[in-house]
Structure 1
Amino acid sequence: MTKPPIPKKVDLRKTPKEQGYFFPAEWHPHEATWLSWPHKEASWPGKIHSIYPVYSEFIRLLTLGENVCINVNDEAMKRFAIKCLEKASVELSKVKFFIHPTNDAWARDHGPSFLLNKDPKMPKVIVDWGYNAWGGKYPPYDLDDEIPSLIANALNLPCYRVPLVMEGGSVEFNGAGTLLTTKACLLNPNRNPEFSQEEIENALRSYYGVEQILWLEEGIEGDDTDGHIDDLTRFINEDTVVTVIEKDKSHPDYEILKQNAKALNKMKLLNDKPLNVIEIPMPLPFIYEDQHLPCSYANFYIGNRTVIVPIFEDPHDEKALEILSGCFKDREVVGLNSRDIIWGLGSFHCLSQQEPKA
């Protein structure tokens, strides 16, 4: 029987990029998906109870192709979660719980960034960026800020702690050296006021292992993250993105999305090829309790077997699913009702963070 290679040592004095590390694209095979069990009533005021069936169905769909790791605050929360998952017929052997207390459920943003190395003898590493709940909007966030380090300890992985505020939903990767983001979020003074754009770009290159940073401008209406890329534009392969577009000039996102599409069509990748841009529609404006909710079909999550797409009982649902089904020939594209979850101002991609298989 062949013995696995003895892992080489990671030198935390050198950046991940200097040692050959990179952040894989989301379609790279997953070891698991990480979640933080929702429990903050203030994130879904008046309807947190309504999200558990669809959240559990999200987990069931994930377990068809991979393991799911869930951060919970304590044993009581774990028991409640198991009850919800059993009702949804989730295969519990595919689910592992970790007693890692959180303030909120948005694991895309407070969870770890898992990096792989080009050298298979090097271990997986975690980058623990700073986290301040989207510019200090929703304190407290001290527990969420600790999650990457807790996961690194639980998995016995080397961990880089970076003194720069960074959220996973603000960055998008093609796995071939390109990172896509927005100025509205990353250059917002409520994140890293002491860092210039050049310094932020240097940090992205050093700690995500990329070569090229492509910038869009603004995010969609109702997005309290100040413009996360995962509501706008997503890579589906190394040279192709899907981007949301709006044809109704009265829609609040019409002009922003028009400008984003124009910018994307001018972009070139590292190989000097133009970016291939596929357009998907936006849902109709969804107003709940006088608040415009940030509904977007771009907030899908690419699992090992399924691509899980938020849908909104909207006339554009079917068209968005049809386009995305054509984009993912190797996975089943599944629409999952997000009308209750979006009241928390995020959806399935915001709630999840992938751990790549080494």
Structure 2
Amino acid sequence: MNGARPATRLPAEWRRHRATYLAWPKEREIWGKHLEGARREFAEFCRTLATTGGEAVEVLVGDSAMAERVESELGGLAVRAHVAAYADVWLRDTGPLFVHRDGRTVAVAFSFNGWGGKYLYPADLGVAAEIARLAGAELVRTELVCEGGAIETDGEGTCLTTTGCLLNPNRNPGMTPRAVERVLAETLGIARTVWLEGCLLGDHTDGHVDTLARFCGPGRVLCMRARERGDPNRAMLERLIDQVRAARDARGDCLEVIEIPAPGRVCDERGRPLPASYLNFYVANEAVVVPLFGTPYDEEAVAAIGACFQGRAAVGVPCRHVLTGGGAWHCVTKQEPVVPGA
């Protein structure tokens, strides 16, 4: 248990948003032949957010010409384009975490080193400050190396994370779990950190928790179970479920696990496994948007996740091209919560 600041709170994703931020795919060097496909999927995702999802969508773009194309393609929707410096689209990791502190919203920017030095583009280092500027929020920096995809909260002081990310020598060499917990308590208001172990095959993030375990309410955690005997993640996912069931939240209560199917083996054109996870869904104001990978389990996963978010529409949006970059819809989004009392 950590001594969290009571006036600081990282809201749950299902709390009301003022806006959702994304960054339009733009670098051929990064996306290769999947660039156009990723853009088509992004366009459908943005439409879903701005219509069914009830979101105001703020999209970073590389230049004014791209801004015109995006706003033309998504014309008539609550979508605005902003010219900004960035390289890749993973705003969950490069953007700030918005927290409520003393009655206002501030943007907490962790240090970012390209997922342990694997993919570090200098332009991405200024993304957190740009999003904070667009939101009109104070930017608060911390030296802890962490990505947003490594943090999952119930909004009531409990955080799920993985040892493979925050305790990895490629991020925070020499830091103990207790030292990390103190930073999370001070910056995010986390009272209990639940350490999990696991990583999907092909995941260059070293095991982001937003592909492994997601809260769908206080005390309730969604996890995947493999349906296929040959699923390369089968044993790891089973161990992960056991870990979650053995954990307790900030209230001292056991966590309930709700199981959904895993997508099974999803590979790129060279046969290399991709980190496909239905848990990389995004909870918008009026919908929960689930990535689709073209597997037999897509529809079942959308229905199962939707059942956990009553009052929201459950929508599946294809994500196969975006997945080749290493993530899905949760990875590309950053929500800005409404100001407390607004």
Same fold (TM over 0.5): yes
Rounded to whole Å, the distance in 1 between the matches of 2:38 and 2:132 is 29
Q: Deviations over 1:184-210 (max 9, x none)?
A: 111111111142222111111111111
The aligned amino acid for 2:108 is V
Q: For 2:45, what is the secondary structure of its paired residue?
A: helix
Q: For 1:346, what is the secondary structure of its paired residue?
A: coil
Q: Deviations over 1:296-329 (max 9, x none)?
A: 1100000001110011121111221221121111
Rounded to whole Å, the distance in 2 between the matches of 1:318 and 1:291 is 24
Rounded to whole Å, the distance in 2 between the matches of 1:95 and 1:338 is 20
Q: For 1:204, what is the secondary structure of its paired residue?
A: helix
Where does residue 12 of structure 1 map in the other structure?
A: none
Report which stretch shifted further, 20-29 or 148-157: 148-157
Aligned positions of 1:1-358 closer than 5 A = 18=5, 20-64=7-51, 65-86=54-75, 91-92=76-77, 94-117=78-101, 119=102, 122-140=103-121, 142-288=122-268, 289-358=270-339
Contact 1:244–1:298 under 8 Å retained in 2:
yes
Q: TM-score, normalised by structure 1?
A: 0.89
The aligned amino acid for 1:55 is F
The aligned amino acid for 1:74 is D
Rounded to whole Å, the distance in 2 between the matches of 1:20 and 1:143 is 33
Q: Percent identity?
A: 36
Rounded to whole Å, the distance in 2 between the matches of 1:322 and 1:154 is 35
Rounded to whole Å, the distance in 1 between the matches of 2:70 and 2:311 is 31
Contact 2:223–2:279 under 8 Å retained in 1:
yes
Q: Deviations over 1:242-287 (max 9, x none)?
A: 0011143432101111110011111122222210100111112112
Q: For 1:350, what is the secondary structure of its paired residue?
A: helix
Q: TM-score, normalised by structure 2?
A: 0.93
* Deviation, structure 1 residue 19: 7.2
Number of aligned residues: 333
Could you tell me which runs of 5 or more consecutive residues in structure 2 were left unpaired when the two chains were aligned. Answer: none
Contact 1:52–1:84 under 8 Å retained in 2:
no
* Deviation, structure 1 residue 154: 3.5
